[in-house]
């Protein structure tokens, strides 16, 4: 046991040549980036409250009505039953978008609560010109899920002979 802990400790030592750095920010994988691309393509209606570095942005959940001026109130309301809480909180999501460091943003959607990353945060980062969509995400037809494995990338139309 002690040997294992010692091994972990050494492998994280920054002065070591083969140091495994501790993850300080989330890494967005192609699957989430593809979902973000498809979500932004649909031009979702956003409701934003400016507050310096941190912006509160409200978006409607899939298959829910678009956000309205009343949406922010839902997040501050006190609910008497769990059903009313669930109904309102699952109809829209609140993204706390950090303009200075978008990877430190948060969202109330189930994907973010589980994995600390979601299509909303990445989509908004691209929307605010803080991140880019790689070319490979644009090659998957809308509505189709990305297949597991490494993407093929774009093929060259003309090959030099
Ligand atoms: Zn989200």
Structural domain boundaries enclosing 84? 21-138
Specify the number of domains making up the chain: 1
Whether 11 is covered by a domain: the verdict is no
Measure the CA–CA gap between 140 and 147, rounded to whole angstroms: 9
| Number of other residues whose CB lies within 10 A of the CB of residue 109 | 20
In a domain? residue 49: yes
> What average pLDDT does range 15-24 have in this prediction?
79
**This prediction's pTM:** 0.73
User: Does any domain span residue 16?
Assistant: no
- Asked if residue 148 is part of any domain, the answer here is no
CA of 68 to the centre of ligand 1 (A): 18
Q: How far is the CA of 3 from the centre of ligand 1 (A)?
A: 40
The percent of residues above 70 in pLDDT, for the chain, comes to 87
The answer to whether position 8 is within a domain reads no
Please indicate, yes or no, if residue 3 is contained in any of the structural domains: no
Give 152 Cα–ligand 1 centroid separation in angstroms. 28
Give me 102's structure tokens: 């978008």
Specify if 70 maps to a domain.
Answer: yes
Q: What is the pLDDT of residue 5?
A: 83
């Amino acid at each position: 046991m002690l040997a294992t802990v010692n091994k972990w400790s050494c492998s994280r030592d920054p002065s070591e040549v083969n140091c495994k750095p501790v993850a300080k920010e989330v890494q967005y994988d192609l699957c989430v980036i593809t979902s973000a691309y498809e979500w932004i393509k649909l031009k979702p209606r956003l409701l934003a409250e400016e507050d310096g570095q941190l912006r509160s942005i409200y978006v409607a959940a899939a298959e829910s009505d678009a956000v309205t001026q009343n949406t922010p109130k839902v997040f501050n309301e006190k609910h008497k039953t769990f059903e009313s809480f669930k109904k309102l909180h699952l109809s829209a999501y609140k993204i706390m978008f950090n303009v200075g460091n978008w990877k430190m943003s948060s969202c109330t959607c189930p994907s973010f609560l589980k994995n600390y990353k979601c299509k909303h945060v990445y989509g908004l980062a691209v929307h605010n010109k803080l991140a880019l969509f790689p070319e490979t995400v644009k090659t998957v037809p809308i509505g189709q899920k990305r297949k597991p494995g490494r993407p093929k990338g774009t093929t060259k139309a003309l090959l030099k002979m």
